[in-house]
Amino acid sequence: MIENNKKSHVNNKNIHAALDIGNSKISCMIAQGATNNSVQIKVLGFGQHVSIGLTQGKVTDLSKLSNSIAKAVESAERMAGFPINNVNCNINGGFPKTKLFTKTIDIISESIKNEDIIKATKLDKNLSSENQVLLNRNIVRYLVDNNFEVENPIGLKSKTLTVETNNIFVDKDVLSNLEKTIELCHLSVRNFYITPEASGIASMIKDERENNTIVIDMGANITSVGIFLKNKLIFTDFIGLGGIHITSDIVKGLGTESDEAEKIKIMHGSLDTTESDDFVKIKIPIISENGELISHEIPKSMLMAIIKPRVEEIFEIIFKRLEQVNSEILNFERLVLTGGSANLIGIIPIAKNIFNCNVRIGKPLGLIGVPDIAQSPSFCCLSGLILKSFQEKDNSLFKSFKNQLSTKIDEIKTWFHNNL
């Protein structure tokens, strides 16, 4: 029955797929769009698998990582009942950078035309460095005479046009290695997006996207930050700390195994202090002097004393990074937490105390039919990649990079053919 439906689904333009490649898990989602007065996106398939062969967002083993990807994709395909050919994917490796650029041009004609916008947003050759490539470029705002901001400058009379753009740079090698790994699974990458952009789109309501909201995605090895204003991503940053480091602290502090520490964090991890914490006992397995696992009881307060400092450290590093940026960015009123560590009980008061703003936990929005397991902060990035796939065409700068790379390879092949 699946075989009979394969071709019709594969060729259906309303079918989109996404792949969230994280340091702890890999997840895949397949969805279909249906138009009934408004577009509804229904999830048809979902799968996940432990991530092997990836560290700090960088590929360390092509074969192991591609095998992990393949298993996650196969699970989603099995649930959907048909195979997929291409995916939207996230990228964190190499800590992508965003830079705001401003370009002003003189308007020669009586009013601003589309050609003027094209000229003002034309890519400068010196934007990309030797090791980095421009992945995506988003227009932040348009300014006409006297720095007056407008939504759409076409047709307006003005002597000048200024365009501010947010440019996202990624490491060339990280991008190429990740794409190569996915291609080993017989899949092609439609577009790459950085995690905070995808997580923000999936977790924020309209009012939050419009009014200076910060999104912090607390992944396993990397915590990423994105700030949105007027539905635009205007700033991103990444730090090399995440849930794995909290687990590592538990291993060191309690003397247990890594797998057991992760279970303890998930089952008992909390930042919510109460007077009874010293009297509430938690049974944990610790490594004895003989190297054996033995049962041991600790007060809940002891576990909290291990977890809390690391979470505070992550937030404090992010806040200090933000202080170094334009003061306008610091005027955010809301913070949305996503990623696995956002599930820690009591994390909201900690974030409120450091960032001094309203804080909430973000969950995937905008999709229907999402499996229960994927309706958590851990899967905001995956859902966001699906939403981006439905919103945009294959017009990302990643396509230009990929085409340039293919052209160079073709040129080399031609040279060898003509000269050997």
Assigned domain for 122 exists: yes
CATH number, domain of 305, equals 3.30.420.40
Cβ contacts of residue 198 below 8 Å, gap of 6+? 20, 90, 380, 381, 382, 383, 384, 385, 387, 388
H-helix segments, 88-153: 114-120
Choose one of 251, 284, 310: the last residue of a domain.
310
Assigned domain for 320 exists: no
Question: pLDDT, tens digit, for every residue of 127-168?
Answer: 666 788 889 888 888 999 988 999 999 999 999 999 998 889
Biggest alpha carbon distance in the chain?
A: 85
Integer Cα distance of 261 and 251 in angstroms: 6
Q: Which has the higher per-residue pLDDT, 249 or 408?
A: 249
Strands (E), 315-396: 334-338, 358-361
Q: Name the token pair of 322.
A: 């933000």
Q: Which residues pair with 150 in a beta bridge?
A: 142
The distance from CA 43 to its chain's CA centroid, rounded to whole angstroms, is: 19
CATH number, domain of 131, equals 3.30.1490.110
Q: What is the pLDDT of residue 131?
A: 86
Assigned domain for 397 exists: no
Assigned domain for 364 exists: no
Q: Per-residue pLDDT for 234 more than 60? A: yes
Contact 217, 199 (CB under 8 A): yes
Domain ranges, residue 293: 243-310
Q: What is the pLDDT of residue 12?
A: 63
Type and span of the H or E element at 5:
helix 2-10
Confidence of residue 180 (pLDDT cuts 50, 70, 90): very high
Question: pLDDT, tens digit, for every residue of 96-120?
Answer: 988 888 899 999 998 999 999 999 9
Structurally, the chain folds into a number of domains equal to: 2
Contact 225, 318 (CB under 8 A): yes
Q: Name the token pair of 35.
A: 């138009």
Mean pLDDT, rounded, for 8-33:
86
pTM of the entire predicted model: 0.86
Question: pLDDT, tens digit, for every residue of 350-397?
Answer: 999 999 999 999 999 999 999 999 999 999 999 999 999 998 754 445
Assigned domain for 128 exists: yes
Of 15-19, 94-98, 253-257, 354-358, the least confident: 94-98
Assigned domain for 144 exists: yes
Contact 159, 185 (CB under 8 A): no
Assigned domain for 118 exists: yes
Choose one of 131, 149, 171: the last residue of a domain.
171
Assigned domain for 220 exists: no
Q: Per-residue pLDDT for 191 more than 60? A: yes
Q: What is the pLDDT of residue 224?
A: 96
Choose one of 276, 292, 310: the last residue of a domain.
310
